[in-house]
């Protein structure tokens, strides 16, 4: 905000706060009380900081002291749920940056109204003279079923950006959008994706979280287990996919968004049925999953489930494909050079993909520290933010790339495995 020399900053999805902000400007009202808004005041105007807001360590302090940086991030992270958050402020030189509490969560009616707007599903005419935007092909006829993710992978900013509470669109809203696709002359009957940050989080949430906000003492899901209060239920998403297939003019509705395989394993009533539905109708040759790594200490720092969870899921997926007579594969997202990861860990990952997954990874992502994530805190401080213990962090660009090449290299791959 300071680098951009902006007067105001709207953060998060801003679907409600943007409208409130525009209305305030239109009516010449002071917008500084709007939730989901950041603004500046001079240090001489400290009396304008709202009562009850939490002061963070100064920018100058966190720049020099890693422990202060960790404390600041803990406070920031704990105050991003609309039901429980307090406002924050931080001194930066001669000014204070003030962050109001997050905007409230949209109701299903409000979310449906957002997706009922008259979107053109095309690039802006201004850019047409520069040629076709190829990236549009993958999203032009896709459907976003919900916002939010409670997976809380430490390297991912979705939990901060979209929130850790699932906001689900109604089935009718989604079906109406699919029906609108059939009116476009360039629609071929294929919906490229029906999903969200995590496709199989559609349609259920923790009742306690909806009433009281996210917990401070534990996460909904961590690297070892899923909270018992989170009752995973794939019933609604199964019914939604079945209804989508019945829409006239829809030939295929694929789920290209990533799925949490640990949630499928956890749902003892409908998990198997959901995966069977996916295998039969909604996979375009390959299903995307994100184990990211296999070394226990790296998975812990990532907040990802253990490798046995993946092995169990892979067996179920392959069994269903055999039963359905399908030749479909799993695609694995992998990360190299995450904080805590060494070259030895990448060699271990390579052995696992070769011996257990029976495949040779063709691509892996080199870790990039993303603002608003615990992994970025680890990268900067070189500490586990929960224990303050020192961890190895690879920061040399060449050695980061070497970690990636270890897992994608083909010279150690044994022939006879599916690639």
pLDDT tens per residue across span 274-283: 999 999 999 9
Residue 416's pLDDT is 38
Q: What average pLDDT does range 214-228 have in this prediction?
A: 92
Look at residue 418 in the predicted model and tell me its pLDDT.
40
Tell me the average pLDDT across 1-18.
95
pLDDT tens by residue, 236-276: 999 999 999 999 999 999 999 999 999 999 999 999 999 99
Q: Are 88 and 56 in contact (CB under 8 A)?
A: yes
Give the chain's count of helices (H) and strands (E): 17, 14
Longest dimension (CA), the chain: 72
Percent residues over pLDDT 70 in the chain = 98
Contact 81, 163 (CB under 8 A): yes
Name the one residue in this structure whose structure tokens are 């199989």. Answer: 200
Question: What is the mean predicted confidence (pLDDT) over 336-350?
Answer: 98
Instruction: For residue 333, give the nearest of 293, 360, 301 by alpha carbon.
Output: 293
Handedness of CA 205, 168, 259, 238 (dihedral sign): positive
Say what the pLDDT of residue 363 is.
Answer: 85
CA neighbor of 90 nearest in space, from 51, 49, 52: 49
What is the pLDDT of the chain when averaged over all its residues?
95
What does the pLDDT read at residue 232? 97
Quote the tokens at residue 66.
Answer: 């890693």
Whether residue 419 has pLDDT greater than 90: no
pLDDT of residue 334: 97
| Ramachandran class of 382: left when φ > 0, alpha when ψ lies in -120 to 50, beta otherwise | left
Tell me the average pLDDT across 330-353. 97
Predicted confidence at residue 362, as pLDDT, reads 84
Cα–Cα nearest to 69, from 78, 59, 79: 59
* Pick from 27-41, 136-150, 404-418: least confident: 404-418
Instruction: Output the pTM of the full model.
Output: 0.93
pLDDT band at 411 (very low <50, low <70, confident <90, very high): low
Phi, psi of 302 (to 5 degrees): -80, -20
pLDDT at 65: 98
The arithmetic mean of pLDDT across residues 90-116, rounded, is: 97
User: So what's the pLDDT on residue 417?
Assistant: 37
Q: Is 37 exposed, middle or buried (0-12, 13-18, 19+ CB in 10 A)?
A: buried
């Amino acid at each position: 905000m300071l680098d951009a020399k902006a007067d105001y900053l709207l953060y998060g999805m801003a679907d409600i706060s943007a409208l409130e902000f525009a209305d305030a400007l239109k009516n010449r009202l002071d917008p500084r009380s709007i939730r989901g808004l950041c603004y500046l005041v001079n240090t001489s105007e400290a009396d304008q900081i709202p009562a009850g807001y939490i002061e963070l360590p100064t920018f100058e302090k966190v720049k020099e002291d890693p422990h202060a940086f960790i404390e600041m991030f803990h406070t920031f992270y704990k105050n991003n749920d609309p039901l429980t958050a307090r406002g924050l402020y931080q001194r930066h030189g001669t000014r204070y940056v003030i962050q109001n509490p997050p905007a409230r969560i949209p109701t299903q009616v409000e979310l449906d109204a957002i997706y009922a707007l008259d979107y053109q599903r095309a690039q802006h005419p201004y850019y047409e003279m520069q040629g076709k935007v190829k990236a549009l092909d993958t999203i032009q006829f896709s459907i976003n079923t919900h916002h939010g993710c409670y997976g809380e992978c430490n390297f991912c900013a979705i939990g901060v950006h979209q929130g850790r509470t699932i906001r689900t669109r109604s089935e009718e809203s989604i079906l109406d959008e699919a029906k609108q696709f059939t009116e476009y002359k360039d629609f071929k009957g294929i919906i490229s994706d029906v999903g969200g940050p995590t496709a199989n989080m559609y349609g259920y949430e923790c009742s306690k979280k909806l009433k009281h906000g996210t917990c401070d003492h534990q996460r909904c899901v961590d690297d070892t287990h899923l909270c018992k209060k989170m009752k995973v239920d794939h019933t609604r998403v199964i019914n939604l996919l079945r209804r989508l297939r019945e829409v006239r003019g829809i030939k295929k509705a694929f789920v290209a968004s990533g799925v949490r395989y640990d949630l499928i394993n956890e749902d003892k009533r409908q998990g198997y049925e959901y995966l069977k539905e996916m295998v039969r109708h909604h996979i375009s040759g390959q299903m995307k999953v994100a184990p990211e790594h296999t070394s226990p200490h790296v998975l812990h720092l990532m907040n990802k489930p253990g490798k046995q969870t993946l092995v169990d899921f892979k067996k179920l997926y392959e069994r269903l494909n055999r039963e359905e007579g399908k030749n479909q594969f799993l695609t694995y997202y992998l990360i190299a050079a995450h904080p805590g990861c060494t070259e030895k860990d990448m060699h271990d990952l390579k052995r696992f993909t070769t011996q257990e997954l029976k495949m040779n990874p063709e691509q892996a992502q080199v870790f990039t520290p993303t603002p608003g994530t615990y992994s970025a805190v680890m990268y900067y401080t070189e500490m586990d933010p929960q224990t303050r213990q020192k961890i190895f962090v690879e920061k040399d660009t060449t050695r980061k790339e070497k970690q990636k090449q270890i897992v994608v290299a083909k010279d150690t791959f044994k022939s006879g495995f599916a690639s």
